[in-house]
Amino acid sequence: MTNAQMWALIVGFASPILIAVINRPEWSQAARTLVQVMVSVLVGLGSALFAGDFAGKDVVSSILVAAVAAISAYKGVFKPAGIAPKVEKATSPAARG
C-alpha cells in the first residue's frame, strides 16, 4: 500500500461525517450518492497530492480506496451508531427552520 492509499484510507474512513454535514435528509438517494462520490474523489486526489504520488494509477487507486473506506465506515460504524444521521439532521437547514 502506498502512502497516498494509506492517507486515502484514513481520511476516507472519517469522511462520512463530512458527507453527513453536506447531505440533507430531503435529498434523493442519487443526490446523496453523488455527494459521497465527489467527496471520495476529492479525498483521493488530495491524498495522492499530499503524499507526492500524483500520477495516473496512484490517483485512481487512492480515489477507490477512499470510496471503499467511506462506504465501509458509513455502513459499519457511523450509520448503525446513529452518528451520521444525527449529524445530517442537526446540520440541515430544514431541520432547524
d(CA 89, CA 74): 16
Is 47 within 8 Å of 67 (Cβ atoms)? no
d(CA 73, CA 33): 15
Cell 467527496 identifies what position? 39
- How many structural domains does the chain have? 1
Residue 85: which domain range? Answer: 3-96
Per-residue pLDDT of the chain (97 residues; tens, 9 = 90+): 888 999 999 999 999 999 999 999 889 999 999 999 999 999 999 999 998 887 778 899 999 999 999 999 999 999 999 999 999 989 988 765 5
Report yes or no on whether pTM surpasses 0.85.
yes
User: What's the confidence (pLDDT) of residue 96?
Assistant: 58
d(CA 43, CA 74): 15
State the cell numbers at 86: 444525527
Q: For 18-51, what is the HEC assignment?
A: HHHHHCCCCCCHHHHHHHHHHHHHHHHHHHHHHH
